[in-house]
Amino acid sequence: MSKPADYFTVSDYLIQRLHEAGLRDVFTVPGDYVARWFDYIDDKARNVGSQLNRLGCRSELEAGYAADAYGRINGISCAAVTYGVGAFSLINPVAGSYVERVPTVAISGSPGTGTADRPFARTYKILLHHATGNYEADRDAYADITAEAIIIRDAAEAPSMIDGALGAALSEKRPVYIEIWRQLWDAPCAEPKDALVIPPLPEDADSVAAAVKHVAGLIKAAAKPLFWGGIEVQRYGLQNGFAGLVDQTGVPYVTSLLAKSLLAETHPGFIGTYTGPSSDYWTYTTVQQADLVVVTGDLLTDDYEGFVSDDFQKMVVAYDNQVRVGEAYYFGVPIKSFIEKLSEALKDTPKREPWAVKGPAVIDPDFKPFPPDIITYARFFQRMLTWVDADMTLVPDESSSMYVSCNIPVNRANGFVSEAAWGSIGYASAAALGLSVAAPDARPVVFAGDGGFQMVAQTVSTMAVYKHNPIIFVMANTIYGIEQALTNDKAYTEGQPFNPFNVIPSWDYAALAVALGAKGVAVTTLTELENALSTVKADTQSVWLVQVNLPADDIPQEILRLATNQGPTKP
């Protein structure tokens, strides 16, 4: 029986609220429990004017990584999968969104009260497909990696529950999990009457005032203060406020690897991307010389363990709604209020003359001699310094390329995306799909390790199907290089054998790209690389995979310094 034109369902409600929140695209993997919602998305796209666009992915891992990257640019994202097998497969990407503050909405359809679902299973003592037997297991698995994890069992409750989850995602910049019983996709519910409410973060005015007074006093007293721009500044859209704070005070700033390209790196006061001992010499030295470091909206990972342990008392860390000054804590301090009030507190303080300046962009040379005509990590990334354009988005994977590529200048805000804190290898290639959807005028350029790429290789097919144009450089050396360096760097420095578990099979990546509907080329020499670089840059309509064949015993010096906790020497 056909439904009247004004019949409004839970599916309609979810689509409308997601659209209102800023979502335009959904990354999906099919399954019978969620399929009916996909019908609604596709029907609305055909009949109403594309409220949401559905992109079918080859795996939940791909869909989750793509959604995560999309959310970093768009401000909210969505991956939709089926119950059990789909939801559990999506956990790793959603955990990354949680750690790195991305409001990804994970949607799952689940068994409902239909004739073939829960009542049937109870009556005949059978296990429903994709189920563990605990029908709250999926929601429970997401509870610790989301701002909110819910199961919607009643259409009447759906509007308030959906609004609450989306509000939490946008307020906290964290993922949420929304599971809906499948018979509810067609169930009628009330239409939205008011705008979606995004709750403000808890704020204690007295705590904000005390924290700002403390920090402003330290900045005024410091001889060499330094700002550290963090990822919350980007997630909460506070780049202009942070830039204003830097310009107003004359205090120089660095970013973390996670927050690289927070501002265009031509901004006055920018020193470099600080990555601990793998940093370039000038950035590393500036951080070491600072007598006060104000971390503005960033989480600190173990990449910075040496710095944190040495400088705990001279650090201010404003992150996750609190401020730490040495061992003193101030709670209920949102990053937006902290930046705004700190700017006000310093407005009458004379602007400083710069005590530090940015050094030249430098890629460390080869760590040992190699034949002059072959490609090495150092030679490849030295070429990237001049090949990369401002309209490209650089996407290094958690690999030997990540800590090298961060030294490439990025002259556009949000022009560098990495999963530098969660660090799931394979992320970058699938992330490029999401980035190309969110920002089609900014071409993603991926630097992928061959081990990570093998985990998500099929994403190349999705890119080709939807006619996106990322460039994927697969750094092919048949080794988990970063893992080898971190577990036994003497395999590189002293020629010891590689750990067997770090050795991976060789693939013909260029041929695989063609089989998946893209274009591919393999390069081994510098001349071949130069020809390939010209070709892929000129062809802006295609997905390109460049297989960069490297010596197995090559590793960037930046990674060796990270592995041995040895700072850089002056070039």
What are the residues whose beta carbons fall under 8 Å from the beta carbon of 311, sequence distance 6 or more?
293
Cβ atoms 562, 276 nearer than 8 A: yes
d(CA 278, CA 53): 41
Region 523-528 average pLDDT? 98
User: Degrees (nearest 5) of the Cα angle 323, 327, 332?
Assistant: 25
Please check the confidence at residue 543 and state whether its pLDDT lies above 50.
yes
Cβ atoms 432, 69 nearer than 8 A: yes
Percent of the chain at pLDDT > 70 equals 98
Tell me, what DSSP letter sits at residue 412? S
CATH class of 10-186: alpha beta
Please check the confidence at residue 213 and state whether its pLDDT lies above 50.
yes
Q: Which residues pair with 28 in a beta bridge?
A: 56, 80
State the CATH architecture for 377-564.
3-Layer(aba) Sandwich (3.40)
- Per residue in 439-460, pLDDT (tens digit) is 999 999 999 999 999 999 999 9
Polymer length of the chain: 571
For the chain, the distance separating the N- and C-terminal CA atoms, rounded to the nearest angstrom, is 76
Which comes out higher in pLDDT, residue 2 or 230? 230
- Per residue in 363-379, pLDDT (tens digit) is 999 999 999 999 999 99
In 3D, which of 504, 497, 381 has the Cα closest to residue 452? 504
Q: Which residue has the tokens 């089926």?
A: 82
Helix axes 335-345, 205-221, angle to 10 degrees: 50
Please check the confidence at residue 112 and state whether its pLDDT lies above 90.
no
5 — pLDDT class (breaks 50, 70, 90): low
d(CA 432, CA 394): 9
Distance, C-alpha 37 to centroid of its chain: 27
- The CATH number of the domain covering residues in 205-345: 3.40.50.1220
Pairing between strand 328-331 and 322-325? antiparallel
> Exposure string (b/e) for 87-124, b if CB count within 10 Å is 16 or more?
bbbbbbbbbbbbbbbbbbbbbbbbbbeeeebbeebeee
- Per residue in 320-367, pLDDT (tens digit) is 999 999 889 999 999 999 999 999 999 999 999 999 999 999 999 999
pLDDT at position 50 is: 58
Please check the confidence at residue 397 and state whether its pLDDT lies above 70.
yes
Please check the confidence at residue 2 and state whether its pLDDT lies above 60.
no
d(CA 562, CA 455): 25
Cβ atoms 311, 293 nearer than 8 A: yes
- Per residue in 456-485, pLDDT (tens digit) is 999 999 999 999 999 999 999 999 999 999
pLDDT at position 1 is: 37
Beta-carbon neighbour count of residue 495 at 10 Å? 9
Which helix or strand (DSSP H or E) is residue 28 part of? Answer: strand 25-28
Region 157-179 average pLDDT? 98
Q: Where are the domains of the chain?
A: 10-186, 205-345, 377-564
pLDDT at position 46 is: 62
pLDDT at position 204 is: 98
pLDDT at position 153 is: 96
Pairing between strand 471-476 and 519-523? unpaired
Q: Write 343-348 long-range contacts (CB < 8 A, 24+).
A: 343/241, 343/244, 343/245, 343/248, 345/212, 345/213, 345/216, 346/216, 346/219, 346/220, 346/245, 346/248, 346/249, 347/248
Distance, C-alpha 447 to centroid of its chain: 15
Q: Write 500-507 long-range contacts (CB < 8 A, 24+).
A: 503/478, 503/479, 504/450, 504/451, 504/454, 504/478, 504/479, 504/480, 505/478, 506/476, 506/478, 507/450, 507/454, 507/476
The region of weakest confidence among 49-63, 178-192, 383-397 is 49-63
- Per residue in 44-94, pLDDT (tens digit) is 766 555 589 999 999 999 999 999 999 999 999 999 999 999 999 999 999
Percent of the chain at pLDDT > 90 equals 89
Enter the tokens of residue 11.
Answer: 């599916």
Region 284-296 average pLDDT? 96
399 — pLDDT class (breaks 50, 70, 90): very high
d(CA 13, CA 156): 11
Q: DSSP characters for 450-482?
A: HHHHHHHTTHHHHHHHTT---EEEEEE-SB-HH
Region 246-252 average pLDDT? 98
In 3D, which of 60, 165, 145, 63 has the Cα closest to residue 101? 145
Average pLDDT along the chain? 95
Same fold, 10-186 and 205-345: yes
